[in-house]
Structure 1
Amino acid sequence: MPAERIDGLAEREIVDVAGGVSTVRQDQLAEEVPLAVHCNGEPLAVMMVSPRDLDDFAYGFALTELGLAADDLVSIAAQTLLEGIQLDLRTRHPLPARATGHQRWLPGRSGCGICGNRSLEDVIRQPASVGHGGPIASSALHAALFELEQRQPLNAATGAIHAAAWAGADGKVMLVREDVGRHNALDKLIGVMQREGTDTGSGFALITSRASYEMAAKAAVAGMPLLAAMSAPTALAVDLAGRCGLTLVGFLRGSRHVVYSHPWRLEPA
């Protein structure tokens, strides 16, 4: 009996060469498909995504890119086309002026939320200050990282997938979302947190990528008090985090991490 197909994975025949010996076998690869986002019948953005948890992506994208709360969305419908997937959003009210001016007409790379914006003003934004949040032990960051490494089935199969996770102040991972794009993974995480009513003021987000400006901005828009990244942040991300009260942590690996802004939230080990 053939194995059940897992959404987000595809199989291709490869030649595996090791020690001079060639082996022909089937390999699992990460699916990457074009996603066209339409809102109230109008095209808004095109990006490359993993074709799973698209409802979560819709809610997260609506908040971080359009400024819409969960109850502003009336319906979400995905349809598979020859060219990819079309995601149709319907909102309770017309999009606000900021969102209308934020329209994109160029395809973006894997989840890049900036690609396709028409002006610099559409890109650089300053989120409101995040909440105070409770204290978080430094050890909780590393506990969450260890657990997250065990909860990435798509990446375990392919080695080509990013993840974003939400953990409690004790480091217990509560939610994980994966995608080929780091921005998409974080939007999916934010989306499922909105749908489930997760308190973004208590706990922290963990991402398996670098912390770019837009990743920090998305976390701040969602009201997350702390964002921890496995890789480095950019200078612009650190500046934004400093201004909006976000604790930004980078190089979370092994027993090490670097705090770039608002270290007062973290209790020493």
Structure 2
Amino acid sequence: MGYEPRTVTRIQQESKKTLEDFVVQECPVALVYNGISHVVMMATPTDLVEFAKGFSLSEGIIPNLHALYAIDVQHSELGVVIEMKIASSAFVQLKLQRRQLVGRSGCGLCGIESLQQFEQQLPQVATAFNPHWLNQIEPAVKNLNRHQPLTALTGAAHAAAWVEQGEIKAIFEDVGRHNALDKLLGYLAIQNIQVAEGFVFMTSRASYELIRKCAQFNIAMLATISAPSTLAIDLAEQAGLTLASFCREKRFALYTQIQQES
């Protein structure tokens, strides 16, 4: 479900009211590759297969879904464990990273040894930017709210949507923005959706890890409701990714140079 009922006391001036409210779920999700625990993420425990596949691809752990042989989701009182069997070549590369990632926020930096390593991790986007996507931001904004049931109930979830022709074709929600994006990316990979046909639209700010994950998937444009960070702008420019933020029905702000469709 992604949410649980909890008792809350609402206080307004001199009045108090006790009632049942819905609160977004958040729990530890351990991603295990070939028997080795790689990372523990704090996430909303929904769409976990999409999440695990999207994370594995967006972090470069596997080059494609053919390198993921098996996946098993196990729930317990402590949280969720997702066991994955990946190709030996991918597992060797994973071990060579020598990174300690348990408890990280999805930032993708914890444990790297130098700034040079960080710079080398950024992929280059080969997908051509389509200028017509800019005209599709407004209809996507208009329709966004009705596609967010978890946010409507709890007010505490981020959403990542896939937009084609101004229509929201898929959307995933999570307490973490990077988790929501990984769920969406996993869905795109599972469905073999052509990323040249659309763009990612997110309800969050534009942070650098979102840029990196989109670039890893060869996605040419990211649009966000809230503001970008300076690093997100810089990395979007380096990756050749178009970044539009402060997206509203009648306006948005472009932070990277637009490359015309070839």
Question: 1:55 matched to which residue of 2?
Answer: 49
Q: 2:5 aligns with which of 2, 11, 27?
A: 11
List aligned pairs for 1:181-220, cutoff 5 A.
Answer: 181-220=176-215
Q: Does 2:233 correspond to 1:238? A: yes
Residues 201-250 of structure 1: CA deviation (Å, up to 9, x unaligned) = 12110011111111101011111110001111122211221122110111
1:61–1:208 Cα change, 3 Å: same
Q: Is the 8 A contact 1:76 1:90 kept in 2?
A: yes
Report SS of the residue matched to 2:252: strand
Q: Does 2:243 correspond to 1:248? A: yes
List aligned pairs for 1:1-269, cutoff 5 A.
Answer: 7-65=1-59, 66-95=61-90, 98-100=93-95, 101=97, 103-109=99-105, 112-114=106-108, 116-120=110-114, 123-124=118-119, 125-168=121-164, 170-265=165-260
Inter-partner Cα distance in structure 2 for 1:78 and 1:102: 25
| TM-score, normalised relative to structure 2 | 0.91
Residues 142-168 of structure 1: CA deviation (Å, up to 9, x unaligned) = 211221211000010000000000001
1:120–1:54 Cα change, 3 Å: farther
Deviation at 1:96, TM superposition (A): 5.4
Higher fraction of helix: 2
| TM-score, normalised relative to structure 1 | 0.89
Q: Percent identity, please.
A: 32
Q: Is the 8 A contact 2:206 2:224 kept in 1?
A: yes
Inter-partner Cα distance in structure 1 for 2:90 and 2:258: 37
Q: Is the 8 A contact 2:74 2:80 kept in 1?
A: yes
Inter-partner Cα distance in structure 2 for 1:102 and 1:178: 31
Report SS of the residue matched to 2:104: coil
Question: 1:4 matched to which residue of 2?
Answer: none
Q: Is the 8 A contact 2:199 2:220 kept in 1?
A: yes
Counterpart amino acid of residue 57 in structure 2: L
Counterpart amino acid of residue 52 in structure 2: A
**Which residues of structure 2 form unaligned runs of 5+?**
none
Deviation at 1:62, TM superposition (A): 0.8
Q: CA RMSD in A?
A: 1.9
